[in-house]
């Protein structure tokens, strides 16, 4: 009702009796809350447009004094007249009328979201690889205005939208109307809902109603409100939420459970549905019938140390960027330091390591390891528990026998040469589960640390795991090689990176 309150105040200034009569009629309606999500539709957001010319009738803010760190005047003024270097300004309707004369250098143009604007795009440059490869577009601007622009060019043309909006944690990571929303703000939740609703309504216009998906990640602070907002905005959609583990270490909070997951909402329009895959996203390394096909290659339990089986302490050389195994080294004597072994150029050495960090041993000798690696039956998996960032998975002799008898089928190989194993008797494809627990989804290892390798001097707040974004999108665009994908809360470019990886895997031209 905040906007209605402003209008009543303006009405009272023009006609006090009419204002009081309207207020008396509206007061009982304020107490009749409809079923569903109720929140204040706050005054429209506004964006400051630095560098734009100020004219008579413009909406402006008065900038704080040069060099000052104060917040400054957040009211929106109207320019009534312009003179040489100065402007006469007044507050708009709805507030006590106030006038002032200020230097035009101290003013900045403001556009409220209710104002009609005609945004345009100006090219700032391009990076081209040639060869007819698909191009991707980065638009730098206020995302509400950019979404409005896209309704002219891409209405009902987008196959998937993936967004990671502000989580509204109370920290200084999100602004509403040019001001940080603090944790003690009484309207913190309603401001966030008003902010999201405006953008979701535009996003709905861009999605293909016959077959498309909206994917939204969120944590526990707004998960319940967002769920209801999505149901109200997309009443025709099928909506599911997934709990995704993003850190096995978790974020410790005094007196509370340590948070290790976040929620992903999937809003499926029309015929959109999650594709069946070999990976159910929960039981990593397990088949459809829950019999195990892959095992940790490092020995566990008794007799698991380097000294117990000296012939099973040898390096596995791999390409650190792709996880493809390069070669298998030879065992080294017990008195030789493993750090003296130099890996081939462009590779890293992975050694057996116990859960406590001690030198361990593999389950087999190097000859068996080489045989399995050549067949794609020895593979690397991302992990945050090893110093190398990789763990080694292998089939055992029982699985090898089942492959030989046809009970388990090798259904091709991925880009790192790892075999895709499918249990023939149990059926290979499964519905993904609503709880995801994959080591590759660790946001620290495959978000923050991955980016620091690309951009060591640039910090991004809480980036997503590249592979978590890739998996989320794959369920809906794997059969759409020309899909158009949008992320209107783009930060470090993880969504674009994920789309490039999907294109590389199957030759697609997704943009």
Residue 125 lies in a domain: no
Cα(228)–Cα(356) distance, integer angstroms: 45
In a domain, 408, yes or no: no
Q: Report which of 47, 48, 1 is spatially closest to residue 28, judged by C-alpha positions.
A: 1
- Give the model's pLDDT for residue 471: 95
Per DSSP, which regions of 294-423 are E strands? 295-296, 316-318, 325-328, 348-350, 378-382, 390-394, 408-413, 419-423
Q: Please list the pLDDT of the chain residue by residue as tens digits (511 residues).
A: 567 888 888 888 888 888 888 888 887 776 665 667 777 776 678 888 888 899 999 999 999 888 877 777 888 899 999 998 999 999 865 456 788 899 999 999 998 888 877 778 889 998 887 777 888 999 998 899 999 999 999 999 999 999 999 888 766 666 776 666 766 667 788 889 989 999 999 999 999 999 999 999 999 889 999 999 999 999 999 999 999 999 888 887 778 898 899 999 999 999 999 998 878 898 875 544 445 788 889 998 888 999 999 899 999 999 888 889 999 999 999 999 999 999 999 899 999 988 888 899 999 999 999 999 999 999 998 776 667 678 899 999 988 988 998 888 898 898 888 998 887 754 557 789 999 998 889 888 888 888 888 888 888 777 889 999 999 999 999 999 999 999 999 888 999 999 999 999 999 999 9
For tokens 């319940």, what's the residue?
224
The answer as to whether 357 is a domain residue is yes
152 and 247, same domain (yes or no): yes
Domain co-membership, 442 together with 500: yes
- Tokens 């080489």 identify what position? 370
CA atoms within 13 A on the CB side of 266: 23
pLDDT at residue 178 in the model:
61
What CATH number does residue 55 fall under?
2.30.30.140
The rounded distance, in Å, linking the Cα atoms of 88 and 80 is 5
CA contacts within 13 A on the Cβ side of 379: 21
Q: Are residues 219 and 185 in the same domain?
A: yes
Same domain, 88 and 13: yes
Give the pLDDT score at 30: 67
Residue 9 placed within a domain: yes
Cα separation, 313 vs 399, whole angstroms = 23
Question: Which residue's structure tokens are 């939208």?
Answer: 161
Return the pLDDT at 3: 76
For residues 108 and 6, state if they share a domain: yes
Does residue 261 share a domain with residue 202? Answer: yes
CATH of the domain at 476: 3.40.50.150
Residue 486 CA to residue 163 CA, distance in Å, equals 8
**Residue 426 confidence (pLDDT):** 47
Domain housing 61: 2-112
Written as six digits, the tokens of 417 are 């040469």
Report d(CA 164, CA 488) in Å as an integer: 9
Cα separation, 228 vs 207, in Å, equals 20
Looking at the DSSP bridge assignments, the partners of residue 47 are 111
On whether residue 414 sits in a domain, the answer given is: no
Asked whether residue 217 is domain-assigned, the answer is: yes
Tokens 């708009």 correspond to 92
Beta strand segments in 206-285, E = 211-218, 238-245, 261-270
CB-facing half-sphere around the CA of 295: CA atoms within 13 A: 16
Q: Are residues 98 and 147 in the same domain?
A: no
DSSP-derived 3-state class of residue 498:
helix
Q: Look at the chain and count its residues.
A: 511
Return phi, psi of residue 9, to 5°: -65, -40
User: In this structure, how many other beta carbons lie within 10 angstroms of the beta carbon of residue 15?
Assistant: 11
- Classify residue 447 by its DSSP letter: I
The pLDDT score that the predictor gives to residue 284 is 73
The number of folded domains in the chain is 3
Rounded CA gap, 324 and 200, in Å?
Answer: 41
First vs last C-alpha separation in the chain: 41
Provide the 10 A C-beta neighbour count for residue 245: 19
Category of 297 on φ-ψ map: left (φ > 0), alpha (ψ -120 to 50) or beta: alpha
């Amino acid at each position: 009702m905040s906007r209605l309150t402003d209008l009543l105040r303006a009405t009272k200034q023009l006609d006090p009796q009419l204002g009081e009569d309207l207020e008396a009629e509206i007061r009982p309606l304020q107490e009749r809350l409809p079923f569903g999500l109720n929140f204040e539709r706050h005054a429209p957001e506004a964006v400051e447009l630095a560098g734009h010319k100020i004219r008579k009738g413009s909406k402006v803010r008065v900038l704080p004094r040069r060099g000052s760190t104060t917040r400054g005047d957040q009211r929106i003024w109207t320019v009534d007249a312009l003179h040489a270097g100065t402007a006469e300004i007044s507050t708009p309707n709805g507030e006590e009328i106030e006038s002032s004369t200020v230097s035009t250098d101290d003013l900045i143009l403001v556009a409220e979201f209710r104002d009609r604007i005609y945004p345009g795009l100006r090219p700032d440059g391009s990076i081209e690889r040639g060869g007819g490869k698909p191009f991707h577009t980065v638009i730098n601007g206020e995302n509400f205005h950019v979404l409005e622009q896209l309704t002219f060019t891409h209405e009902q043309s987008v196959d998937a939208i993936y967004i990671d909006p502000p989580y509204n944690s109370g920290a200084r990571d999100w602004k509403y109307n040019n001001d940080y929303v603090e944790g003690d703000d009484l309207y913190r939740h309603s401001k966030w809902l008003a902010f999201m609703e405006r953008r979701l309504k535009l996003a709905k216009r861009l999605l293909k109603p016959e077959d498309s998906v909206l994917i939204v990640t969120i944590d526990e602070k707004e998960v319940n409100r967002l769920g209801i907002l999505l149901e109200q905005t997309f009443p025709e959609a099928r909506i599911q939420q997934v709990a995704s583990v993003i850190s096995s270490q978790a974020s410790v909070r005094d007196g509370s459970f340590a948070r290790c997951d976040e929620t992903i909402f999937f809003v499926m329009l029309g015929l959109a549905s999650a594709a069946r895959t070999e990976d159910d996203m929960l039981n990593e390394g397990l088949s459809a019938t829950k019999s195990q096909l892959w095992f940790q290659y490092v020995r566990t339990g008794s007799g698991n140390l380097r000294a117990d089986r000296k012939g099973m302490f040898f390096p596995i050389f791999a390409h650190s960027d792709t996880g493809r195994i390069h070669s298998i080294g030879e065992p080294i004597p017990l008195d030789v330091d493993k750090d003296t072994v130099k890996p081939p150029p462009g590779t890293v050495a992975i050694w057996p390591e116990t859960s406590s960090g001690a030198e361990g041993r593999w389950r087999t000798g190097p000859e068996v390891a080489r045989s399995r690696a050549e067949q794609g039956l020895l593979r690397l998996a991302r992990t945050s528990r090893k110093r190398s960032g990789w763990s080694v998975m292998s089939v055992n002799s029982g699985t090898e026998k089942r492959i030989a008898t046809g009970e388990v089928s090798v259904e091709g190989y991925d880009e790192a040469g790892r075999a895709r194993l499918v249990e023939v008797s149990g059926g290979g494809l499964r519905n993904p589960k609503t709880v995801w627990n994959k080591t590759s989804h660790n946001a620290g290892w495959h978000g923050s640390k991955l980016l620091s390798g690309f951009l060591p001097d640039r910090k991004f707040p809480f980036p997503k795991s590249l592979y978590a974004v890739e998996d989320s999108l794959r369920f809906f665009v794997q059969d759409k090689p020309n899909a158009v994908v949008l992320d209107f809360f783009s930060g470090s470019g993880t969504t674009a990176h994920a789309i490039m990886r999907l294109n590389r895997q199957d030759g697609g031209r997704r943009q």
